[in-house]
Each structure stands twice: as structure tokens, then as C-alpha cells.
Amino acid sequence: MSGDHALATVPPPAGGLATHPGGDLVAAAERLARELLEDLHPRWEHTRAVAARAAAGAGAVAPQDRPVLVAAAWLHDVGYAPDLRAVGFHPLDGADHLRGAGWPRLLASLVAHHSGARFAAQVRGLTGALSAHDDPRALAGAIADALTWADQTVSADGEVVDVEERLADVLRRHGPDSPNARCHHLRGPYVRGAVRRTQDRLRRAGAVPAPASAPDGERPPR
């Protein structure tokens, strides 16, 4: 992996959200995610599984919003790539890079705010920096909820899990003094609400949400 090379060779598709075919956006997002994260394990396995989960749950959002949801799922953790590290807060580092590289504002905002990042940003003193990415559709609503649902029902290793297991694992891995632990009383309810709302939308749309213990066929290839 070479960051400069990756950044130069995977531009966003031209034309913005309004004019490009959705498949172009998703394909470009997958390529950039692969270039930045493929060598990071298990981050890459997690990323692939979150993208697959978002695609499987795309019925929770309007048809025209499905490409940006799946593209955001591919890119939501690119801020962990060493080449993109700036402030050391991955939602912000990822979003700043994407916006600077010309990716659509809504997509960068979804990356900035995925999984209740604003609560951890507050603990870290980064609320002002994150607010540069305050697109209302990334803060609340069906797309924001579905991205959080996808991320928070997939484990760090890329397995489909229950949201409570995912929340508990984050606290276990990051420790009791971590920013995530210090905002858990706010972030936990937000994440649970996003998961519940997405599952309700999927039920109403007639799309059966994948169970926490997914059959092998739902897991991404390793």
C-alpha cells in the first residue's frame, strides 16, 4: 500500500451525487478502501463485511440513496489508514481526506458522523472540527441510521453480531478510560436507536434483516 499512489489513482467519480451512476460511486469507494485498508487486518475484513451488510440492508433507504449508503460503508473506516492519519480521530481524518479529494459532501459527512462519532468527538474536544461535516442527512435519518446499523452489527473481525455484543466489545477493546467509554451513556442509546429504526424500516419494506448469527452465505469471502 502506498498512500500517495492510492490517493492519486482513486479519484471520486466525476459529476457528484446528482449526475453519476450509483455503481460508479460504489466501485470507486471500494477501490479506494482496498488501496488504503487492504493491508490492515482485521480492519479490511470488517470493512468488507460492513459494505456487504449495508448492501443487504439498503432497502431501509430510498432507492436513490442506496449508492451513497454502500459507498459510505466502504469508506467509513479509511481514517484508520496510516497515510490518512492527521488528528488521530478516524471519522474526522477519513472525512477530511474524502472532502479534500473531491468526494461528495454527503458521503464525507456520513463518514464523519458514522456510529455516533459526534459523542466521541465531544470527549476529544473535536466537536468544532467535526462540525465542518454537519450535513443534516448524516446526523439523523434513514441513511445515517442504516450506516450505523451496518457498522454496529458487524464485529471488528467482520462477523455479523448483535448490537449489544458489538457495543460491549468496543468497551472491552478500548478500555474504561477511552473516549468511547466516556461517552457510552450517550453513544450507546444513539446506536441502539439507529439499529432499531433501521430494522423497523427493513420490516416495513418487506426486507428481512439478517440475523445476528448469519449463515455462512451472508459472510463476506475472506
- Residue 135: all three cell numbers together: 450535513
**Residue from 35, 45, 145, 151 in contact with Fe ion (CB under 5 A):** 151
Tell me the window of 35-43, 65-73, 147-155, 160-168 that interacts with Fe ion (CB under 5 A). 147-155
Q: Which is nearer to Fe ion, 25 or 147 (CB)?
A: 147
String marking each residue 94-133 x if it binds Fe ion according to CB under 5 A: ----------------------------------------
Tell me the window of 12-20, 59-67, 149-157, 198-206 that interacts with Fe ion (CB under 5 A). 149-157
Measured CA to CA, the distance from residue 94 to residue 79 in angstroms comes to 4
Measured CA to CA, the distance from residue 142 to residue 65 in angstroms comes to 9
Give the three-class secondary structure for 154. Answer: strand
Q: Which of residues 77-96 bind Fe ion (CB under 5 A)?
A: 77
Tell me the window of 23-31, 75-83, 93-101, 157-165 that interacts with Fe ion (CB under 5 A). 75-83
Q: How open is the CA angle 65-37-198, to the nearest 5 degrees?
A: 30
Contact 109, 141 (CB under 8 A): no
Q: How open is the CA angle 192-189-142, to the nearest 5 degrees?
A: 50
Looking at this protein, which amino acid is placed at residue 88? G
DSSP-assigned letter for residue 115: G
Cβ-closest residue to Fe ion? Answer: 151
Under rule CB under 5 A, residue 65 binds Fe ion = no
Could you tell me the smallest distance in angstroms from the CB atom of residue 204 to Fe ion? 26
Query: Which residues would be at the binding site for Fe ion (CB under 5 A)?
Result: 77, 151
